[in-house]
Structure 1
Amino acid sequence: MDLRIFTEPQQGASYDTLLTVAKATEDLGFDAFFRSDHYLKMGDVDGLPGPTDAWITLAGIARETRRIRLGTLMTAATFRLPGVLAIQVAQVDQMSGGRVELGLGAGWYEEEHRAYGIPFPAEKFARLEEQLAIVTGLWGTPVGETFSYEGTYYQLADSPALPRPAQGQVPVLIGGHGKTRTPRLAGQYADEFNMPFASAEDSERQFGRVRAAAEAAGRKGDDLVYSNALVVCVGKDDAEVARRAGAIGRQVDELKENGLAGSPAEVVDKIGRFAQAGSSRIYLQILDLDDLDHLELISSQVQAQLG
């Protein structure tokens, strides 16, 4: 089971804080550092010092790390034009030496669009589908050839399809709970399907839908990586679990029900249930980015038991 660190900087984190967490992620042996792509806080937090842009952040971290994978869960298709996004991600991939992954979603948080003057179209899912076709099409165009696309929302004419990512084709992540359209898009375009904040039982059902969609698209179900994103709250004892839950404004019982919470043994056991459901990778949502001891405990007491 791969464990990846997943942060939510819109809740309040500077670039320096994110870099510190990313370096700890690398030093402690985790597989990757991912971040959300949001411009507005959620819930009862001050969100200070304010939002950081996902791909600018990852560009900086790419130059300060050497091993870990870097990516987004999820970049909103509403935030960037697909040609520009392909250039940005390819450049960060070059800056990292080929360690970038792109999680791409339709976008859902209308308030942040209003707050920063970003259009929030009704046909978000249809736009996402065209963005996926364009981004993967640009990256898949041989050097020296051009890429054109005539869609309902986006049109590209004779693009040189440059720059190319260092790794050729950046892995694409698609995720979500939708029972029909989401599996179809994942089956066609995704290298990884991520099921966010769901039970092992619901994850297993959704993984099955994605496998079926991949096979309908002429692929093998095992062509995709299947993963989960879950909030994590681990402590050496009950008091430490309660302290960490309180620091992020959550209740221990709720975290144990809906996330990965409790002692290292409890968390390892629950991770095993997701593995049985077909997951091979978990994005650990870290909500207190100042608690680096939490990362160390997960590394030494949870990750070490997973092999």
Structure 2
Amino acid sequence: MVNSTITFGLQSGQQDSTWADIRDLWLELEEMNFDHLWVYDHYLPTGTNDIDVPVLDSWSLLAALSQIVKTPRLGTLVTSNTFRHPVTLAKMITSLDHISNGRAILGIGAGWHKPEHTAYAIPFSTPKDRIERLDETIQIIKQLWSNKRTTISGKHFKIDNAPFEPKTVQKPHPPILIGGGGEKHTLRIVAKHADDWNWNLNGTINDYKRKLDILNQHCAAVSRDPNEIKLSLNVDFLVDNDDNRIESALRVNADVMKKSIEEVKACSMVGSPEVVRSKIQSYVDLGVTSFIFSLRNPFGVKSTDQMPNKEPRPLRYHATMSDVRRLCQYVLPHFRN
């Protein structure tokens, strides 16, 4: 791991939300002292059976939010590499880095949500091909950020003697977070390029240990010290002493995810403050230094611990602002003091 400081962030998926919803949420989150805040990068909503709800653009939101929240780092968890040309993406991140005075993070992945690609006729090729494109994209962006002129002739992209100004505020460049857990291809790209590897916690701690071992092998293959790569997790969570609510949430999510309740418990941080603290500590012991908690609408400041009554409901039971407040009051101080 890069350092032993534990940081905490929150990802607010911006589906079914207005600008005012997200603005007010982020203002409250900044007051809660989150170290980094994230949006997701989708054209269609995820985790719901209603695809007609609004979804605001990720990078436009971050530029606007950077002028309202002044302290947290800002990023996408994660940018879909299939949506934009590498030069366009590099320019967007560079612009955000200037607008935010050096707080931008490039979170990026190969792209996975096929329905939005189908709906908008965005090419969606094989996983191997998408990983190759991701590899080329990151190579191009890093060179644009570093070189006076960039020339690359790859399988997917060709850049010919291209200038790129301005450079980023952060030196040598904004942190590059690569999301994903694919052991053959994605972790190889992490070993080559990532400043931060983020895994969306969807397995057991033994699954994570195995992936760490494989990442170390990929690092050895490219002669890279794995300790240079920060480890982060994106996690679903609920913090509550109400056993009935916790069990209800686990049953709903187990049914949707086609897993047992015990399997859902293993791949989320759900339970009393003591249980959630213990789960965080188990990953800290493995070298994880950054935790990003996932929040979905309804996340208004008056939201309750109940599932929304409107139809169609979200497919999964998500945390509310009440959970966030309990997280900040009873869990995070244990790691910050």
What is the TM-score when the length of structure 1 is the normalising length?
0.91
Query: Residue 75 of structure 2: SS of its match in structure 1?
Result: strand
Query: Residue 33 of structure 1: SS of its match in structure 2?
Result: strand
Compare relative contact order (CA 8 Å, sep 6+) and give the higher one, 1 or 2. 2
Kindly provide the CA deviation profile for residues 12-33 of structure 1, in whole angstroms up to 9, marking residues without a partner as x: 2222222222222211011111
Q: Is the aligned partner of 1:130 residue 2:136?
A: yes
Indicate the residue corresponding to 1:158 in structure 2: 161
CA contact (8 A) 2:37 2:75 kept: yes
Indicate the residue corresponding to 2:3 in structure 1: none
Query: Residue 9 of structure 1: SS of its match in structure 2?
Result: coil
| Matches of 1:172 and 1:130, distance apart in 2 | 14
| Matches of 1:254 and 1:200, distance apart in 2 | 11
| Matches of 1:216 and 1:107, distance apart in 2 | 25
| Matches of 1:37 and 1:117, distance apart in 2 | 17
Report the CA distance between 1:254 and its aligned residue: 6.1
Report the CA distance between 1:140 and its aligned residue: 1.7
| Matches of 2:211 and 2:166, distance apart in 1 | 35
Query: Residue 33 of structure 2: SS of its match in structure 1?
Result: coil
| Matches of 1:283 and 1:293, distance apart in 2 | 17
Work out which of the residue numbers 288, 293, 296 in structure 1 matches 2:325: 296
Give the letter for the 1:157 counterpart: D
Give the letter for the 1:282 counterpart: F
Q: Is the aligned partner of 1:277 residue 2:281?
A: no
Indicate the residue corresponding to 2:67 in structure 1: 63
Relative to structure 1, the CA distance from residue 21 to residue 66 in structure 2 (aligned partners, 3 Å threshold; closer, same or farther) is same
Kindly provide the CA deviation profile for residues 28-47 of structure 1, in whole angstroms up to 9, marking residues without a partner as x: 01111112111112344435
Indicate the residue corresponding to 2:50 in structure 1: 46
Report the CA distance between 1:163 and its aligned residue: 2.6
| Matches of 2:165 and 2:217, distance apart in 1 | 34
Kindly provide the CA deviation profile for residues 276-307 of structure 1, in whole angstroms up to 9, marking residues without a partner as x: 22211111112342343322211111101122
Query: Residue 39 of structure 1: SS of its match in structure 2?
Result: coil
CA contact (8 A) 1:212 1:221 kept: no
- Bigger Cα displacement from structure 2, 230-239 vs 81-90: 230-239
Indicate the residue corresponding to 2:253 in structure 1: 250
Work out which of the residue numbers 10, 14, 20 in structure 2 matches 1:9: 14
Report the CA distance between 1:208 and its aligned residue: 2.3
Q: Unaligned regions of 5+ residues in structure 1, if any?
A: none
Q: Is the aligned partner of 1:222 residue 2:227?
A: yes
Report the CA distance between 1:239 and its aligned residue: 4.6
- Bigger Cα displacement from structure 2, 233-242 vs 99-108: 233-242
Query: Residue 30 of structure 2: SS of its match in structure 1?
Result: helix
Structure with bigger helix share is 1
CA contact (8 A) 2:13 2:295 kept: yes
Q: Is the aligned partner of 1:267 residue 2:276?
A: yes
After superposition, the CA RMSD in angstroms is 2.1
CA contact (8 A) 2:45 2:53 kept: no
CA contact (8 A) 2:62 2:74 kept: yes
Relative to structure 1, the CA distance from residue 209 to residue 254 in structure 2 (aligned partners, 3 Å threshold; closer, same or farther) is closer
Kindly provide the CA deviation profile for residues 194-253 of structure 1, in whole angstroms up to 9, marking residues without a partner as x: 11123222112212222332233232111010111110111143255467x39x953686
Q: Unaligned regions of 5+ residues in structure 2, if any?
A: 1-5, 255-260, 301-319
CA contact (8 A) 2:205 2:266 kept: no
Indicate the residue corresponding to 2:105 in structure 1: 101
Query: Residue 52 of structure 1: SS of its match in structure 2?
Result: coil
Relative to structure 1, the CA distance from residue 28 to residue 215 in structure 2 (aligned partners, 3 Å threshold; closer, same or farther) is same
Indicate the residue corresponding to 1:182 in structure 2: 186
Relative to structure 1, the CA distance from residue 254 to residue 183 in structure 2 (aligned partners, 3 Å threshold; closer, same or farther) is closer
| Matches of 1:287 and 1:201, distance apart in 2 | 28
| Matches of 2:20 and 2:241, distance apart in 1 | 28
- Bigger Cα displacement from structure 2, 251-260 vs 21-30: 251-260
| Matches of 2:59 and 2:17, distance apart in 1 | 15
